[in-house]
A and B are shown apart, each in its own frame.
Chain A
Amino acid sequence: MAVEIRTLAIEPIRNTYGHTARRFGDKPATRYQEASFDIEAKINFHYKPLWDPQRTLNDNARTNIKMVDWYSVTDPRQYYYGSYVANRAKMQEVAESNFSFCDKNNVVENLNENLKNDLLRLLVPFRHMELAANMNNSKIAGDAVAATVAQMHIFTAMDRLGMGQYLSRIALMIDGATGQGLDKSKDYWMNDPLLQPLRKLAEDTLVIDDWFELSFVQNLLIDGFMYPFVYEVYDKIIQKDGGVCLSMLTEFMRDWHKETQRWVNAMCKTVYAENDENKILMESWTKLWIPVIKNTFLNLANEIGCVESLNEIESDLNCRLAKFGLIVSGESK
């Protein structure tokens, strides 16, 4: 008899929260499920924002993309805060040991002066691109209307800040931690004609209002060019120029981009498949932005002698788009 009572009292009366059960059934839920679905306020907002009086707080209409349920966009990595920081902590451990290896062996110090200067001019300025990406993703996190979507973007915003910091540290290794290298690099960013298209591109993204367009342009299209270009193509050229170990200092970025493509692809695939209006919008953004982005990198590609790589990058990107059905007709040269 006592045993019977014990089971009765200890037996759970439900397996998960109501909002989780409505989606996944009343069964034990994962931590990702309990932390990510339907926790953002949806209705009955009290006041129109002073900064956007046409719309409510958490308004679906901050993008032109239409989704019946934004929670159908989920993270294939199933990151919630805890699993996100756990993963990044591991990645930064590797990065830290790479940085300290290079430090101990004077890897950067021993580079020839030309290459050092090239790095300040052609690699380090991408820290500014990272900052723009950081701002853009923070905006998206504030505007997105489902926690599954918003959290992927705040994670990305912080990642971009972190990668901008890794790039900055390369300059600090070049300049002996005086800041002179960063000043020089920033001067290139502001004034060198070679970098102006990039800076213009960054500033142009900062005035995109539609948050999903911004995510599409930043996290898929721009990154789809920038990451292979900087961290694969240019990385090989650095190696040829004598910076063999330098790749260690950008390993984080390569690993990161590989991982990031998973959620970006999944998000775009789901949104694209939702309805024809979304398809038309995403196609028009692709048509508009790919030529602009490609052109932006043209100067740089010329300078480092790898123009043909841009075509490869473009066709890889088109393959990525094609995987979720987005096929851009016509030439974009």
Chain B
Amino acid sequence: MSAKNRKLNLKDKYQYLTRDMAWEPTYQDKKDIFPEEDFEGIKIKDWSKWEDPFRLTMDSYWKYQAEKEKKLYAIFDAFAQNNGHQNISDARYVNALKLFLSGVSPLEYAAFQGYAKVGRQFSGAGARVACQMQAIDELRHSQTQQHAMSHYNKHFNGLHDPAHMHDRVWFLSVPKSFFDDARSAGPFEFLTAISFSFEYVLTNLLFVPFMSGAAYNGDMATVTFGFSAQSDEARHMTLGLEVIKFILEQHEDNVPIIQKWIDKWFWRGFRLLSLVGMMMDYMLPNKVMSWAEAWETYYEKSGGALFKDLERYGIRPPKYQDVANAAKNHISHQAWATFYQYSKATNFHTWMPDESEMKWLAEKYPDSFDKYYRPRFEYWDRKQKEGERFYNDTLPQLCQVCQIPAIFTEHESPSVLSLRQVEYNEERYHFCSDGCADIFNDEPEKYIQAWLPVHQIYQGNCDGSNVSEVVSNYYNINLGKDNLDYDGSPDQKRWQEIKNNGSK
């Protein structure tokens, strides 16, 4: 760095306090110190062009974060002491937390691991430091979520073994394979996947719905956690944008690689979000907004502006964006219908929406709900009232890439299932969409390795030969206590006791 005779400005000072501590090695070959920087084909000419996305020295980091943690844990303590769980809108709400704790919290830990790894892999020290700060932040999220849910776990079923379930349960392989995919990629793809596509483009559709869902449903613990994590997320988002701009500015050969990754991670993220969509539309007793509205606001509008901005680098909006936009009217219903049927193998309860909820859904989805979904839901509801609650005992066909059962429909014909097949090395693989098939075709050797829960059950690797055995032996889910219909569940009984008691 070249020193001048005047005082350093903030930007230069921060560089002296971070990247200037690094040096060009001469005793070891730089390639041996950073062996993973080149294999993806991304060309970095000059790491010194990296713009620090935020300037936070460790002393201030400790100070700010400690203040935030202190406030957060004061709320957790008060929440537990006052049995704050009794103030939520309805016990059905807790099922959203079950999905969150077993589906999302383990991803926070995986993010910690991924960022710790790339926090070592890059030869640019500015980028390393920013990644390390995200690593420790993500550890924070994983731990504060354990603590936030700790009290709920004492009073509701299904929250009792999130990490164990994340490694095994069929639908949890959707989020797990998503993060495994990113973590097993190279460092630049990891950042494109998680920092850019996930944190920057899609975070408002994942994290925010859960947090506002908590706010609308009287869940103080989760709301407080969400607020507290917001300033961390703001840093993660600026990192996401800087990463993409930096790579694109470094070399024109990077553009097609980044475009391919944006296409892939947009699609993978969109598929993952169907779980969030169903949570918003079906699992929240007090609804925040519909999934379609969230998609319009946070993807179509904000994403549209973002990709307009990236046009100057030669980046276009993600492939199959139009398919995703059209699917916003369908995926949440399709997902809920699936979980309703397979409720014997989940760690949360499902139920049919009541009449007022059906009305809300019809209003929010004027072109799809009444036409495609209401009839089936009313039929199931009738059956249930007749004492024949529908449970599907077969095992579904999973998509080889996103690992969601084949439940989605064709782009322009919502009553036709979308199914694709690809033959590879004399083996036939199944997909939910062109998006997933494209991802497979680009890296078949990667995706043939997928640990597909249904295959694994058939192969006898999951401690049981039928669903109930697998669920209780392998998943550690208590059949009838943690799952099945909400109606008649122990959670519901306890909740009624609490409510009856309060009104006395």
Residues of A within 8 A of B (CB): 2, 5-6, 8-10, 12-19, 31, 34-36, 38-51, 57-58, 80-82, 85-86, 88-89, 91-93, 95-96, 127-128, 130-131, 134-136, 138-139, 141-143, 147, 150-151, 154-155, 157-159, 161-162, 164-166, 168-169, 172, 175-180, 182-183, 186, 189-190, 199-200, 203-204, 206-207
Residues of A contacting B180 in the complex (Cβ-Cβ under 8 angstroms): 45-47, 57
In the assembled complex, B238 has its CB within 8 A of some CB on chain A: no
Most B C-beta atoms less than 10 A away, residue of A10, A85, A131, A166: A85
A19 touches B163 (CB 8 A): yes
Chain B residue with Cβ nearest A2:
B504
Chain B residue with Cβ nearest A165:
B17
Once the chains are docked, how many angstroms separate the CA of A150 from the CA of B163?
Answer: 16
A151 touches B139 (CB 8 A): yes
Q: Quote the shortest CB–CB distance from A22 to chain B (angstroms).
A: 9
Chain B residue with Cβ nearest A166:
B59
Q: Quote the shortest CB–CB distance from A168 to chain B (angstroms).
A: 5
Q: A154: which of B5, B27, B135 is its contact (CB, 8 Å)? A: B135
Q: Quote the shortest CB–CB distance from A93 to chain B (angstroms).
A: 8
Question: Which stretch in B181-189, B327-335, B416-424 binds the other chain?
Answer: B181-189
Q: Quote the shortest CB–CB distance from B437 to chain A (angstroms).
A: 17
Chain B residue with Cβ nearest A95:
B59
Q: B166: which of A8, A41, A136 is its contact (CB, 8 Å)? A: A41
B33 touches A46 (CB 8 A): no
A10 touches B83 (CB 8 A): yes
Per-residue 0/1 for B327-356: is the Cβ within 8 Å of any A Cβ (1 yes, 0 no)? 000000000000000000000000000000
Once the chains are docked, how many angstroms separate the CA of A230 from the CA of B163?
Answer: 43
Q: Quote the shortest CB–CB distance from A175 to chain B (angstroms).
A: 8
In the assembled complex, B486 has its CB within 8 A of some CB on chain A: no
B27 touches A44 (CB 8 A): no
Query: What are 10 A-B pairs at a CB distance below 8 A?
Result: A43-B168, A45-B451, A46-B450, A47-B450, A50-B446, A51-B39, A51-B187, A82-B144, A131-B22, A177-B13
Beyond A12-B154, A46-B451, A92-B62, 17 extra complex contacts between A and B, CB < 8 Å: A9-B494, A17-B146, A18-B476, A49-B184, A51-B184, A134-B132, A141-B116, A142-B114, A159-B58, A162-B59, A164-B21, A177-B8, A178-B4, A180-B3, A182-B20, A203-B28, A206-B28
A204 touches B27 (CB 8 A): yes
A158 touches B497 (CB 8 A): no
A182 touches B116 (CB 8 A): no
Q: A50: which of B62, B167, B185, B450 is its contact (CB, 8 Å)? A: B185
In the assembled complex, B260 has its CB within 8 A of some CB on chain A: no
Q: B69: which of A16, A38, A85, A143 is its contact (CB, 8 Å)? A: A85
Residues of A contacting B177 in the complex (Cβ-Cβ under 8 angstroms): 46-47
Near A by CB (< 8 A), chain B positions 37-96 give 39, 57-59, 61-63, 65-67, 69-70, 72-73, 83, 86
Residues of B within 8 A of A (CB): 1-8, 12-13, 16-18, 20-28, 32-33, 36, 39, 57-59, 61-63, 65-67, 69-70, 72-73, 83, 86, 106, 109-110, 112-114, 116-117, 119-121, 125, 128-129, 132-133, 135-136, 139-140, 142-144, 146-147, 150, 153-157, 159-164, 166-168, 173, 176-177, 180-181, 183-187, 446-447, 449-451, 456, 476, 494, 497-498, 500-501, 504
Q: B153: which of A16, A47, A190 is its contact (CB, 8 Å)? A: A16
A178 touches B6 (CB 8 A): yes
B184 touches A47 (CB 8 A): yes
Once the chains are docked, how many angstroms separate the CA of A72 from the CA of B86?
Answer: 37
A154 touches B168 (CB 8 A): no
Most B C-beta atoms less than 10 A away, residue of A49, A81, A92, A131: A81
Residues of A contacting B159 in the complex (Cβ-Cβ under 8 angstroms): 17
Known interface pairs A35-B143, A81-B140; A92-B7 also in contact (CB < 8 Å):
no
Q: Quote the shortest CB–CB distance from B462 to chain A (angstroms).
A: 10
Residues of B contacting A139 in the complex (Cβ-Cβ under 8 angstroms): 116-117, 120
Known interface pairs A16-B150, A81-B69, A165-B17; A57-B183 also in contact (CB < 8 Å):
yes
Residues of A contacting B150 in the complex (Cβ-Cβ under 8 angstroms): 16-17, 34
Task: Give 3 nearest A-B pairs by CB, closest first.
Answer: A162-B58, A89-B66, A142-B117
Once the chains are docked, how many angstroms separate the CA of A186 from the CA of B6?
Answer: 19
Once the chains are docked, how many angstroms separate the CA of A130 from the CA of B58?
Answer: 13
Known interface pairs A10-B498, A138-B120; A17-B143 also in contact (CB < 8 Å):
no
B32 touches A207 (CB 8 A): yes
Known interface pairs A39-B142, A42-B167, A58-B113; A9-B135 also in contact (CB < 8 Å):
no
Known interface pairs A10-B83, A51-B39, A161-B129; A168-B27 also in contact (CB < 8 Å):
no
